Amino acid sequence: MAGTRIDFDGLIDRHLMREQRPKAVGRYYPSEIGKCIRNVWYSYNHPTEIKPELRRVFEMGNILHDFIIEVLRDTRNGDIQLLDAEMPFKLEFGEPDSKFVVSGRIDDLLLLKAGDKKVLVEVKSTKTLKYMRGPMEHHKTQLQFYMYATGVHDGVMLYIDKSTLETKSFEVAFSMDQAKRIINKFRALHKHLTAATLPAPEAKKLPDEKWMCRYCEYADKCAKDEK
């Protein structure tokens, strides 16, 4: 092996490379609803390749999610029982002339039985738990929709530190009013996509979501209100 150099980064990136299918208007994904509606609109009209470093972040999240599944399957967990993981689902909305579907496999969600009740647990990995005092709003939004879709109205956001495997968890109460707002956001997205009209820059207008703009791959287009 003397003098042999192996590009392990390249090996990892090629391993994580997946064929990216174009999105179809009328079919939406649960993970999109926590994002800025304009960002999601752009992703349908101007799809971009996922960067290798972002694929690695996603894969680390998958690895930690699988670890939590392994922990919960441990027979020494007493009255905590894993009922389901990576649950596929499909919901239809809209009027006959403007129907759309929200579907997909929820790969960061777990269904547990804790004592005598069912609990939905959304698992997210993070760099640090140090400053975390509660669940992030866009994560809560996703969990609200999952609770609506599954009919399980006890929810928990579970954050796991990537470097230490320490965790923090927060209970999330179900709100039908918030669930209705989320569904209306899907309706608005569908309306803007079918009419080819640009949605308002949601993240710019909401103080709790402005941080999204710093990481948005469509920031230049958004700044110009470009279609």
CATH number of the domain where residue 58 is located: 3.90.320.10
Q: How does residue 94 score in pLDDT terms, banded at 50, 70 and 90?
A: confident
Work out how many domains the chain is built from and give that number. Answer: 1
Does residue 224 carry a pLDDT above 90? yes
Q: Give the pLDDT of residue 58.
A: 85
Q: Is residue 201, in this structure, part of any structural domain at all?
A: yes
| Cα–Cα distances in angstroms (integers) from residue 14 to residues 10, 18, 33, 103, in the given order | 6, 9, 29, 28
Read off the pLDDT of each residue in 51-56 and give the average, rounded to a whole number: 86
Strand partners, 88: 105
Q: Is residue 2, in this structure, part of any structural domain at all?
A: no
Nearest CA to 91 out of 99, 101, 77 is that of: 101
Q: Is residue 53, in this structure, part of any structural domain at all?
A: yes
Domain that holds residue 134: 24-222
| Cα–Cα distances in angstroms (integers) from residue 52 to residues 13, 58, 106, in the given order | 6, 10, 22
Q: Is residue 8, in this structure, part of any structural domain at all?
A: no
Does residue 135 carry a pLDDT above 70? yes
Does residue 31 carry a pLDDT above 60? yes
Q: Is residue 215, in this structure, part of any structural domain at all?
A: yes
Concatenated DSSP letters of 43-66: HHHS--PPPHHHHHHHHHHHHHHH
> Model's pTM, two decimal places?
0.86
> Can you tell me the distance from the alpha carbon of 85 to that of 189, in angstroms, rounded to the nearest whole number?
28
Q: Is residue 34, in this structure, part of any structural domain at all?
A: yes
Does residue 179 carry a pLDDT above 70? yes
In terms of pLDDT, which residue wins out, 57 or 172? 172
Q: Is residue 227, in this structure, part of any structural domain at all?
A: no
> Are the C-beta atoms of 28 and 189 separated by less than 8 Å?
yes
Q: How does residue 121 score in pLDDT terms, banded at 50, 70 and 90?
A: very high
Average pLDDT, the chain: 89
Q: Is residue 142, in this structure, part of any structural domain at all?
A: yes
